[in-house]
Amino acid sequence: MDCLHRKHLTRRQFLKGAATAVALPHLVSVPSLLDPPPVHASGESDLIIAKQGSPTQLLQAALAPLGGMGRFVKQGQRVVIKANIAWARTPEQGCTNNPELFMALIKICYDAGAKRVAVWDHTCDNYQFTFSRSGLKDAAQKAGADIFSGHGQNVYKPVQIPKGKKLKKAEILRDVLESDVFINFPIPKHHFATELTLGMKNLIGIVWDMEQLHKIDLHQCIADVSTLRKPDLVVMDAIRILTTNGPKGPGKTEDIGEVAASSDMVAIDSYGATYFKNPKTGKPFKGEEILFVKHAYDLGLGQIDLAKVQVKRVSAT
Amino acid sequence: MTRTVQTLRRAVQTLSFLFLLYLILRTAFPLELKMPVDLYLRLDPFIAIITLLGKKAFILSMLPAFGVLLLVFVFGNFFCGWFCPMGATIDFFDRVLFREKKRPKGFNEQPLRRLRYGIFLFSLAAGLMAWQLLYLLDPISLITRTLVISFYPPAIYVFNHLIPKIQMILPRNPHIISDIPLPLFKVNLFIFVIFLGILVLGLVRKRFWCRYLCPLGTLFSMTSRLRIFRRSVTNECTHCLKCVKDCPGGAIPEQEPQTYRQQDCVSCLKCLDCPPKAVSFKFAFPRWKSVEQVSLSRRYVLGSFGFGLLSALVIKTNPLQTESTLKNNRLIRPPGSLPEDEFVTVCTGCGQCLKVCPNNALQSTLLEAGLAGLYTPRLVPRIGYCEEFCNFCGRVCPTAAIKPLPVEEKRLIQVGVAHINKTRCIAWDTDKICLVCNEQCSYQAIVGDEKKRPIVKEEKCTGCGICENKCPVDGESAIIVYASGVQKILTPNNNS
């Protein structure tokens, strides 16, 4: 029953979105999950926030209103996940992805028919230590995914960034560029330099000389890199977030117990910012207050104003 | 029969060399091998005795070495002929590259045989004065160091170039495997040339190094004079001198091939290949007496010893040495290292820590720590930083020059302190936001001020050098770790 109920909701959601945004009559008459509306068209952004439940339940609940993983992953496709495995920290410290959610994400991709799921990160600490301490190597292997570290320059491909304002070229993980489906899997964290680490900051881990970006203009570079290969889906792991001493920690953590999913990388970052309090105003951060989110919005990568995004909160249980 | 013995011996030598190679390759993350990866060094009685003298304390991990010494009393220098990886390498090159006819004939061995004892005494005296020259000549340390420093990086280079080819034939294409970061060691050429030199000496005599230079061999010679497993020759000997020619240790005198210098015999059993079958090896009562002894005059012995003492003193009073800790504050020792004086006395320069370091952070010194500190490890943060949860260097050190510490203890050791060069720092020099050093710091020792400019908290800084390593400024880093002289232990609550 539950399943049917959810499916019904999905369709209505879809119909509403299509009607308000594009208002194409033929789409209203042929409602179909196999024929979703264009993902990045403005005003159509869907942002689902799932609360209450085990990581696996949260993920399923967050994806269902978007049309399930089947909307993003088709039979036989190669999926690349950019996880956050940057630091040699344990899962409890909230600096790297939740292993259980991570496994659920890989499994759900395979269930949707993925041919291969590869997980990548260009780690900051030595990859051998981050992979083992975070428990994510074991998790990936258990779930049947390949886990790769970008510690060698040979796995990157030099590319031009035509839409970049300050960063005109960079070396990007070849596997990400050539993937059929690209999923960004960030964990929101405090960050001294950029205030917060959100989805687009996580994407810096697909760049070879990450540290060099600080020399140019970090915020603009984050936005510029995000123009290259837009993630088809962003799954934000907000089960436990790091609120101080980020991004490496260890610091204070907060159990939010949420998983957010969206195909709009700006909207989800704008939402992710609200988990944290702005020390200057004492109120939760707004997307505009995080410069890289603002820059990404200016580049037309998505919707920053949450009032203009269809935000849907669901309970996983 | 004799042919099988020689085939067997070559097989054992090859296996022994390959096993060393395997152990060296396994001297790496995650370091979970059941046996000690420094097994060969632990079997080296020479290192055991010298560290015992230098450290004036017994190192339990070196206990197996004395077992080897006991076996030498029975079988003579069997280790040299059968198991020594250096000996195996030399044997191989002697066989492949240098034929007997190339070698000069009629040459007086006496001075060279004496030289070996001279070097030994010289180095022993130097060792007592804490100049560990002997370690540089120890064959196990030497071969390990050579393989790690000179041969491991080229092997990785080749491997990295083969990766794309391997990927083409892999079934699960497209697999993308990262290159292994190329390990860099600045002294690799120097060590390579020395290694080549040792091999080329084979032009003069078979196993030149083993006969005339190797200090481990000298130690074995002294003990194996009393060997029980001895060669005996019957009257059937026809003086064909085949055994004289074959003997890799030059232990059989040309005038009297029925006898031999038991101290120089490496128990290779090549002389069993005797046309009249006059040679055999039997267990017999030990005898100290030997033929054609090396004439070690009192003058020679005392001279070598005294010269060793004096040389060590001269080296120790050289400014390179006296200032190595005081004024050279870029000489950062790995965490858990003994105090500098003791460290250079005990470190054998085997290179195991250099190999195991996951970030290639440890580098071999040339003159940075003075002549007495040749080949000792130092942390060079711009090349690699000390990984927070790694204690591998201490765990592989055969002589505990770097103490084996639990990770939690190692995390509290301050090997140096980072200092910011504000004229080079992006955040201090321009209005850009950088803070890479703060982001990377594992110990929260770097904080940002109100303008997001980095400030170092000395009481939390361990000197791991991740900040210096990752600093995006070109060339010399804008944040540099300077050694703190003596390693300190930070208070844990500072570090949580």
Dihedral sign for Cα atoms in the order B270, B139, B65, B263: positive
Greater confidence (A1 vs A262) lies with: A262
Q: Which of A138, A242, A163, A168 is nearest to A198 (CA)?
A: A242
Domain residue ranges in chain B = 2-283, 321-495
Quick one: pLDDT at residue B496?
Answer: 44
Question: What total of structural domains would you count in chain A?
Answer: 2
Identify whether the C-beta of residue A283 lies closer than 8 Å to the C-beta of residue A277.
Answer: yes
AA letter at B237: C
Residue in A178, A189, A211, A219 to test binding to B, most B beta-carbons within 10 Å:
A211
Of A116, A146, A151, the CB nearest to B178: A151
Quick one: pLDDT at residue B319?
Answer: 82
> For strand A146-149 and strand A169-173, is the pairing parallel, antiparallel, or unpaired?
unpaired
Q: Give the whole-number percent of chain A exceeding pLDDT 70.
A: 86
Of B172, B178, B444, the CB nearest to A150: B178
Asked if B433 is an interface residue toward chain A (Cβ–Cβ < 8 A), one would say yes
Q: Report pTM.
A: 0.88
> Is A229 found in the same domain as A198?
yes
Between CA B155 and CA B151 the distance in angstroms is 6
CATH of the domain at A178: 3.40.50.11440
CATH of domain B321-495: 3.30.70.20
Please state the separation of Cα A154 from the chain's center in Å: 25
A252-261, A295-304, B326-335, B447-456: range with lowest mean pLDDT: B326-335
**A232-247 pLDDT per residue, tens:** 999 999 999 999 998 9
CB contact under 8 A, B390 and A126: yes
> Residue A18: pLDDT above 70?
no
- Kindly report the nearest CA distance between residue A188 and chain B, in angstroms: 15
Between CA B277 and CA B265 the distance in angstroms is 19
Quick one: pLDDT at residue A7?
Answer: 47
Query: Over the range B170-201, which residues count as b (16 or more CB within 10 Å of their CB) and which as e?
Result: eeeeebbbbbebebebebbebbeeebeebbeb
Quick one: pLDDT at residue B466?
Answer: 96
Q: Where are the beta strands (DSSP E) in B288-401?
A: 362-364, 377-379
Quick one: pLDDT at residue B35?
Answer: 86
Identify whether the C-beta of residue A154 lies closer than 8 Å to the C-beta of residue B156.
Answer: no
Quick one: pLDDT at residue A29?
Answer: 41
> Is A122 found in the same domain as A73?
yes
Phi, psi of B232 (to 5 degrees): -135, 145
CB contact under 8 A, B358 and A128: yes
Name the pLDDT band for A3 (thresholds 50, 70, 90): very low
- Kindly report the nearest CA distance between residue A260 and chain B, in angstroms: 25
CB contact under 8 A, A152 and B179: yes
Between CA B334 and CA B354 the distance in angstroms is 10
Of B160, B180, B359, the CB nearest to A126: B359
* Residues of chain B scoring pLDDT < 70: 1-2, 101, 170-175, 292, 324-327, 493-496
Q: Which domain holds residue A5?
A: 1-35
Residue in B31, B170, B177, B178 to test binding to A, most A beta-carbons within 10 Å:
B178
- The ipTM is 0.88
Residue in A closest to B466 by C-alpha? A125
CB contact under 8 A, B432 and A217: yes
Residue in B closest to A173 by C-alpha? B176
Between CA B225 and CA B219 the distance in angstroms is 11
A5-14, A164-173, B268-277, B483-492: range with lowest mean pLDDT: A5-14
> Residue A266: pLDDT above 80?
yes
> Is A121 found in the same domain as A91?
yes
Of A88, A150, A215, the CB nearest to B472: A215
Q: Which of residues 98-117 of B touch A (CB under 8 A)?
A: none
Phi, psi of B412 (to 5 degrees): -95, 0
- The token pair at B156 is 């990785």
Q: In chain B, what residues touch A194 (CB-CB under 8 Å)? A: 433
Q: Alpha helices of B97-232 — where are they, by DSSP H?
A: 110-128, 133-137, 139-146, 152-169, 188-200, 208-212, 215-224
Question: What residues have CB less than 8 Å from B275, skipping those under 6 apart?
Answer: B238, B240, B242
Quick one: pLDDT at residue B173?
Answer: 54
Number of A/B CB contacts below 8 angstroms equals 101
> Is A252 found in the same domain as A169?
yes
Which DSSP category does B333 fall into? P
Q: Where are the beta strands (DSSP E) in chain A?
A: 46-51, 78-82, 116-121, 146-149, 156-160, 169-173, 181-184, 189-191, 195-197, 233-242, 253-262, 310-315
CB contact under 8 A, B434 and A215: yes
